[in-house]
Amino acid sequence: MPDSPSLGNGSSPYLDLNSGCNPGAILQHPGFYYHLAAMCCAERRRRYLEMNKLEASKEKTTTPTTMLLSLLKSEQQVDHSSLTIELLTKSYEQFKRYHNGRMTLYLAAEIAGTYYETGKFEMALKFFERIGKTYRKERWYTILTSILRWSLRCAKELESWDRAIECLVELLSDALPMSDSKRTDVQAELLQLLDKQVPNDVPDLPRPVMINMNQINAFVHCGVQFQTATNFVNTPLTFQITLQANATSPPTDPFRFTAMRVLFSDPRYNYYLLDSGDASSGDATSLIDCSQNVELYQEQGDYLGWKTKRVNLGLAKKQVKVIQGTVLPDSCEEVKILGVCLDITSSNWAVSLNYTFGEQNNGGQPLPRRKWLQPISGNEKKTNKLHVVLD
Summary mean pLDDT of the chain: 82
The whole-angstrom distance between residue 43's C-alpha and the CA centroid of its chain comes to 34
The parent domain of residue 297 ranges over 220-359+369-389
- Residue 132 half-sphere exposure, CB side, CA atoms within 13 Å? 24
Domain boundary among 162, 195, 228: 195
User: DSSP class of residue 388?
Assistant: E
Q: Which strand (E) or helix (H) includes residue 198?
A: none
The tens digit of pLDDT for each residue in 2-42 reads: 455 544 444 454 445 445 555 555 566 788 888 888 888 88
Domain boundary among 195, 230, 245: 195
What type of residue is 37?
A
Number of domains in the chain: 2
Is the pLDDT higher at 360 or at 72? 72
- The answer, as to whether pTM is greater than 0.85, is no
Is the pLDDT higher at 102 or at 78? 102
CB-based contacts of 14: which residues, under 8 Å, 6+ apart?
23, 26, 32
In a domain, 133, yes or no: yes
Do 259 and 191 lie in one domain? The reply is: no
Domain boundary among 125, 160, 195: 195
Is the pLDDT higher at 153 or at 54? 153
Confidence of residue 57 (pLDDT cuts 50, 70, 90): low
Strand pairing report for 207-212 and 349-356? parallel
Q: Report the pLDDT value the prediction gives residue 381, as an integer from 0 to 100.
A: 44
Do 250 and 191 lie in one domain? The reply is: no
| Nearest alpha-carbon partner for 250 in 313, 176, 322, 183 | 183
Do 377 and 266 lie in one domain? The reply is: yes
Do 40 and 162 lie in one domain? The reply is: yes
Do 239 and 328 lie in one domain? The reply is: yes
Do 188 and 232 lie in one domain? The reply is: no
pLDDT at 87 over 90: no
| Burial label, 202 (beta-carbon count in 10 A; 0-12, 13-18, 19+) | exposed
Do 114 and 242 lie in one domain? The reply is: no
Do 292 and 186 lie in one domain? The reply is: no
The CATH number assigned to the domain holding 125 equals: 1.25.40.10
pLDDT at 388 over 80: no
Helices and strands in the chain, H and E counts: 9, 15
Q: Report the pLDDT value the prediction gives residue 262, as an integer from 0 to 100.
A: 96
Q: Report the pLDDT value the prediction gives residue 391, as an integer from 0 to 100.
A: 43
Do 144 and 263 lie in one domain? The reply is: no
The tens digit of pLDDT for each residue in 243-302 reads: 999 988 888 878 999 999 999 999 999 999 999 888 776 778 889 999 888 899 988 888
Do 288 and 157 lie in one domain? The reply is: no
In a domain, 87, yes or no: yes
Q: Report the pLDDT value the prediction gives residue 149, as an integer from 0 to 100.
A: 95
Do 228 and 189 lie in one domain? The reply is: no
The tens digit of pLDDT for each residue in 368-385 reads: 566 788 776 655 444 345
In a domain, 20, yes or no: no
